[in-house]
């Protein structure tokens, strides 16, 4: 059983929704990563009280640094998270649609900006190489409701998956 957090080590966090809670960080990158998808991201363990208003997928801030929370465990007295550090901001766009008044069919209206600066954790790029073909894939972690076909900094989203409460987005 994990020990409850102690006030001498606890710091105050604020969620994007404005809720405050107290939590205790572990050492940087010393906490085991629960999934291979999170291997290359800067992270810390975060322990909070069980009643804290923090959930997996929240964006939290402390001392001017933003983190995205991955859910780990809920124990008797505490909740454990993997706090992934936000390392960049991206522009989030989606193709807008409207109903054509004549044909009553949906038609595209162009790109609609959903966020000018969406906080994300950007993983180092990786590439797919085949004979005479190279494509660079970018993996992005976010708490926002990104969908297939959206655009992040001009890259089209090709895959979306839930990883411990965060969205893992692949874009090319």
pLDDT score of 78: 86
Measure the CA–CA gap between 54 and 41, rounded to whole angstroms: 21
DSSP per-residue codes, 103-138: T--EEEEEEEEEEEEEEEEEPPPEEEEETTEEEEEE
pTM of the predicted structure, to 2 decimals: 0.79
Measure the CA–CA gap between 171 and 118, rounded to whole angstroms: 15
Q: Write out the chain's pLDDT in tens, 172 residues.
A: 456 677 778 899 999 888 999 998 887 656 666 666 666 677 788 889 888 888 888 999 988 899 999 887 878 888 888 888 898 999 999 988 888 888 888 887 888 899 999 999 988 666 555 666 666 778 899 999 999 999 999 999 999 999 888 899 999 8
> What are the residue ranges spanned by the domains of the chain?
11-85, 88-171
Neighbouring C-beta atoms of residue 89, cutoff 10 Å: 15
Assign domain 88-171 one CATH number from 2.40.10.370, 3.40.30.10, 2.70.98.30, 3.30.70.1400.
2.40.10.370
pLDDT score of 156: 92
pLDDT digits (tens, 9 = 90+) for 110-152: 888 999 999 999 886 665 556 666 667 788 999 999 999 999 9
């Amino acid at each position: 059983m994990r020990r409850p957090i102690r006030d001498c080590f606890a710091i105050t966090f604020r969620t994007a929704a404005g809720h405050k809670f107290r939590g205790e960080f572990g050492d940087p990158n010393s906490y085991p990563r629960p999934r291979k998808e999170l291997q290359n991201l800067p992270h810390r363990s975060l322990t909070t009280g069980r009643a804290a208003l923090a959930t997996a997928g929240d964006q939290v801030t402390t001392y001017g640094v933003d983190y995205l929370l991955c859910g780990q465990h809920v124990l008797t007295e505490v909740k454990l998270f993997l706090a992934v550090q936000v390392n960049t901001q991206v522009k989030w766009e989606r193709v807008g649609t409207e109903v054509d008044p004549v044909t009553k069919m949906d038609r595209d209206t162009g790109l609609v900006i959903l966020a000018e600066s969406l906080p994300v954790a950007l993983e180092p790029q990786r590439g797919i190489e085949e004979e005479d073909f190279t494509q660079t894939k970018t993996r992005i972690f976010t708490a926002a409701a990104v969908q297939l076909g959206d655009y992040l900094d001009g890259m089209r989203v090709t895959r979306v998956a839930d990883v411990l409460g965060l969205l893992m987005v692949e874009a090319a």
